[in-house]
Amino acid sequence: MISNISPTPQKVQMIDREHLLRLLKNGLDAKSFRFTRQAALVWLSAFPGDLEVNLYYAIALINEGRAQQAAQVLERILNNDPLYVEALKIGVELFSSENAALAKKCNGVLQGLGEQPNQFVDLPSWGTKLIQVKQAMAAKNFSEAQNLLMSVMGDSTHPEMADLLHLEITSETSDATSVLNLARLYQKRWPECLQINLILAKAWMETGNDDEAVKMMHLCAANDASAQVPTRMWGSNFAYRPIYPSKMEVVSSFSVPAEVAGKLGMNILGSGSGTPNVTTFASYPKSNGQASFDSPAYDSTEEYEPELTQPLRTEVSSFDGYKVLPTEDGGFQEHPNFQDNKQKPAGKSSTVKEVEEELKKVAESINQPVISNSDNRFPAYVVLSMNKGLETQYGAQSTQVIKDELKKLMKSIQEKNAWSSILFMPDDLEICGRYGITPIDAIDPWKIKLALADLDKALQKKGERIGCVLIVGGESIVPFHKLPNPTDDSDAEVKSDNPYGSLDTNYFVSDWPVGRLPGEAGSEVGLLLTQIRNTIQYHQEEAQMQTWVNRILNMVRAWNMPWIKNNGNIGYTASIWKRSSLSAFRPIGEGNSLFLSPNGKAAAFSSSKLATAPIGYFNLHGVEDGSDWYGQKDPSDKLGGPDYPTALKPSDLIKNSNSPRIVYCEACYGGHIFGKKEEQSIALTMTGIGVLAMIGSSTIAYGSISTPLIGADLVGYLIFKNLSEGLAIGNAFIKAKVDFVREMNRRQGYLDGEDQKTLISFILYGDPLIAYDPYQGAAKNLGREAAAPLVKTICDRTTYDEKSATVTPKMVSTAKELVKDYLPGIEYAEMRIQNQQARMVTGGGKGVSQPKRVVVSFSKQVNQSEKIHKHFAKVTLDQQGQVLKVAVSR
């Protein structure tokens, strides 16, 4: 609940450099290369000049098969620090197949530094001479050293090391002005070389040009944040240390995979104090010892403790041969295993089959094929929760209050909709006994899903089916399913309620609607009770309104549904997405009801406008580690201001006033409520102020830049269209997903990774029976289709094969040009190129390869106001370079 006291700021988890390096080392050790790459990118978004982390990034790219991109990173490292031994060793191997001249140079510098060169790569003639120069310098024989060096410098292929040695000799034998003049000459030849720039800065300082010296030192600090090069040159306490960062840390915005956590000992219960043993490889870079710069003490087992791997045990256990509570006649329910072994009913007679075929023809002739392909059992309203989970989070007394309120809700459903209603707790022996279902022994999402499937099977005996499911409780009561992320972005997994709506493992399209009243994190039960009571009030009030007069008025209204457009619905979008938002919003509103962020010269959005809006639509940016939603400037906006202004905060939403009945939000993490209190999530705050149904994404979401709509834009458009036609939100959501699958199959023949993620990441927080027009919503209930639409999918997370990627520079240029306005700073974005190919099955069962497509992906992170904005853009092209699809993260 929102109090008058200012909310406590959400704790931000930080990670310092020392412990990031440990994570990166162990990520490589565990062969978790994708995690290593992403963790390095998080750090580099704040400290792009950290050479050691850049090297980890390059190694991860190499192991992912992305040699060309790794080569670019490694060249940049060696341009900055040409004497970086670990980078030179990796460069010799990497460049040997791509750039023989550069590999030879790296090998020669290794030899000149006294390291063991690679015996399989050629050595330049100057390698041994550099060793002789260094030996002469060590003996203080600078004249001999300079004579030896002149023959090296006459070679056009000589490296930066030769010029650096010349500068060292000059500094020993000449005055500061001579060093300055020589350093300026070499700085023009090697402008990125940190050693030369540092020597030049020192020379400027010694000759009295402090301004130029300080400017150059700041440039060096930006390109070498950890002070790797000056520490190697002058020791750890060099004179210019204050210019370099004293405390290096970033927001920890990534999850540590189990295999990496295992290497660090994070997933093992400790037997005592001590630091986990960390294994390193000689081929991996070693820390230069300049890691933390007075960083605070850090306990990795505390900060990175993973989520519980073992589900909470319930009070009952699943076992064969158990007996549940007696029935009214004194007997006991049969065990499900025994029921499954009973003789199955005989097949349909030929007469019945003929009748069904005729009905199917009639249905198709009136363009309603679902009539002949539906499950016409009576629907039951199922309230799903876990007794053990409720008592663990809220205590026994509050749990009983929740159960009493749920009974009121179920009664109101029965009176209004004439549905049967069931309170189903799969860990309750008595409830399970009524249906002959084995109670589950742990709070495990897949066991709960299977129990729901058993319930649907048990209801079949009475001619009933699950009509919809309302989950009561959050993550610790009825856990979200953790599904694999079908596309290549920074989300390790996708939390979803989809499997709770499906009988099988096809969780893209549900068999029945699923909604959730989640409450908030912690033991405070107020928000959950508010959500339940608001839902009860909705059903009771609408039941009272359904007098015979209101029924006639509702029937008249149903004949002219476009009236919904003029009834105050409101939209709020980032300015950059105005075009696609207008199209998505069109079924329920006009352009003058769609507000922009930043608004430029247009009318500004005010949260007070929500008080009169039946439906709210939000197409804004969201972040995983914060509560606010953000806009984004249109490139044509020349009025100034931040690129990502704050558009909406939880504190903007007014309690004890009217609120939208239904809200749909496209923002990344718009439905991310995990571990959050009410004031830390706009989604939770909305359900607290009276929003009855809120749909948002638990992860990164994708949408369009214009028409035709894709991703979250298309789903939103279809939901609004279904709501305007009178469907309740649960059925509107399911039908939108079905139509989405059919539309994308029609356009491209399959669902790609972004399509799949759109289907599974959006969660309905609220009762599935909430409708914009309650009378129509109650009357227009979709039956369950006996056969869901065919979902043809491809995997976007394939192994990257750079050599086989059929991409041309023009394709890359086209992709960049398309998304540059939507991904500011695209020149610094990480780029990934993949071939995309789907295999389809013909009517005869033969596999047919579809034409190959190329996907060019860009990813970038922007730090603003201590929050990390993650941006992804994906452009799909055919082999001729024709753009087929552009998807941009929200």
pLDDT digits (tens, 9 = 90+) for 58-106: 999 999 888 888 998 999 999 999 999 999 999 999 998 878 999 999 9
pLDDT digits (tens, 9 = 90+) for 396-420: 999 999 999 999 999 988 877 668 8
CB contact at 8 A, 846 and 757: no
SS3 380: strand
CATH code where residue 832 lies: 3.10.450
pLDDT confidence bin for 202, thresholds 50/70/90: very high
Q: Is residue 701 domain-shared with residue 837, that is, in the same domain?
A: no
Q: Is residue 716 domain-shared with residue 645, that is, in the same domain?
A: yes
pLDDT confidence bin for 5, thresholds 50/70/90: very low
- The region of weakest confidence among 338-352, 589-603, 695-709, 732-746 is 338-352
SS3 468: strand
- Is 577 a member of any domain? yes
Q: Is residue 568 domain-shared with residue 677, that is, in the same domain?
A: yes
pLDDT confidence bin for 783, thresholds 50/70/90: low
Residue 425 in this model has a pLDDT that exceeds 90: yes
Write phi, then psi, for 260 (nearest 5 degrees). -75, -40
pLDDT of residue 418: 67
CA distance 514 to 552: 31
Instruction: Compute the CA torsion angle 381, 387, 393, 397 (nearest 10 deg).
Output: 100
Q: Is residue 744 domain-shared with residue 806, that is, in the same domain?
A: no
The strand pair at 14-16 and 249-251 is best described as: antiparallel
SS (H, E, C) 100-143: HHHHHHHHHHHHHCCCCCCCCCCCCCHHHHHHHHHHHHHCCCHH
CA distance 390 to 631: 38
Buried b (16+ CB within 10 A) or exposed e, 380-414: bbbbbbbbbbbbebbeeebbeebbebbeebbebbe
CB contact at 8 A, 58 and 73: yes
Residues spanned by the domain of 736: 549-750
CA distance 843 to 297: 64
Q: Is residue 587 domain-shared with residue 710, that is, in the same domain?
A: yes
- Is 617 a member of any domain? yes
pLDDT of residue 267: 44
Residue 290 in this model has a pLDDT that exceeds 50: no
CA distance 603 to 805: 47
Domain boundary among 750, 785, 813: 750
CA distance 189 to 84: 19
Q: Is residue 644 domain-shared with residue 715, that is, in the same domain?
A: yes
pLDDT of residue 625: 84
Q: Is residue 651 domain-shared with residue 712, that is, in the same domain?
A: yes
Residue 162 in tokens: 């030769």
CB atoms inside a 10 Å sphere around CB 232: 17
In 350-389, beta strands by DSSP E: 374-375, 378-384
Largest CA distance in the chain: 111
CA distance 547 to 253: 54
CB contact at 8 A, 800 and 832: yes
- The region of weakest confidence among 38-42, 156-160, 561-565, 872-876 is 561-565
CA distance 531 to 687: 6
Instruction: Compute the CA torsion angle 544, 546, 547, 550 (nearest 10 deg).
Output: 130
Q: Is residue 820 domain-shared with residue 740, that is, in the same domain?
A: no
pLDDT of residue 317: 45
Q: Give 501 or 750, the one with higher predicted confidence.
A: 501
**What totals of helices (H) and strands (E) does the chain contain, helices first?**
30, 26
Residue 347 in this model has a pLDDT that exceeds 70: no
Q: Is residue 708 domain-shared with residue 564, that is, in the same domain?
A: yes
Residue with tokens 């009639």: 362
Residue 215 in this model has a pLDDT that exceeds 60: yes
Averaged pLDDT, 327-350: 42
Residue 190 in this model has a pLDDT that exceeds 60: yes
Domain boundary among 686, 719, 750: 750
Residue 444 in this model has a pLDDT that exceeds 70: yes
Domain boundary among 717, 750, 783: 750
| Side chain identity at residue 669, one-letter code | Y
Q: Terminus-to-terminus CA distance in the chain, angstroms?
A: 28
pLDDT of residue 325: 39
Q: What is the DSSP string of 134-191?
A: HHHHHTT-HHHHHHHHHHHHTSTT--HHHHHHHHHHHHHHS-HHHHHHHHHHHHHHST
Q: Is residue 606 domain-shared with residue 726, that is, in the same domain?
A: yes
Average pLDDT score over the chain: 80
SS3 866: coil
CA distance 47 to 500: 43
Residues in Cβ contact with 55 at an 8 Å cutoff, skipping those fewer than 6 apart = 74, 77, 84, 86, 87, 90, 285
Q: Is residue 682 domain-shared with residue 602, that is, in the same domain?
A: yes
- Is 367 a member of any domain? no
Residue 575 in tokens: 């300015």
Residue 262 in this model has a pLDDT that exceeds 70: no
Q: Smallest Cα–Cα separation from 412: which of 535, 572, 580, 237?
A: 535
- Is 168 a member of any domain? no
- Is 292 a member of any domain? no
Residue 687 in tokens: 């359900």
Q: Kind and range of the H or E element at 436?
A: none
- Is 205 a member of any domain? no
- Is 498 a member of any domain? no
CA distance 723 to 817: 37
pLDDT of residue 402: 96
pLDDT confidence bin for 723, thresholds 50/70/90: very high
Size of the chain, expressed as the number of residues it contains: 890
The model's pTM is 0.63
Domain count for the chain: 2
Residue with tokens 């086989």: 804
The shares of helix, strand and coil residues in the chain, as percent rounded to the nearest 5, are 45, 15, 40
pLDDT digits (tens, 9 = 90+) for 580-594: 999 999 999 988 899
Residue 229 in tokens: 């090069």
CA distance 596 to 575: 5
- Is 668 a member of any domain? yes
Q: What is the DSSP string of 400-459?
A: HHHHHHHHHHHHHHHHHH--EEEEE-TT-HHHHHHHT-PPPSB--HHHHHHHHHHHHHHH
pLDDT digits (tens, 9 = 90+) for 517-527: 999 999 999 99
Averaged pLDDT, 209-235: 90
pLDDT of residue 310: 56
Q: Is residue 717 domain-shared with residue 842, that is, in the same domain?
A: no
- The region of weakest confidence among 186-190, 663-667, 830-834, 873-877 is 830-834
CB contact at 8 A, 765 and 475: no
Averaged pLDDT, 173-179: 90
CB contact at 8 A, 702 and 710: yes
pLDDT confidence bin for 497, thresholds 50/70/90: very high
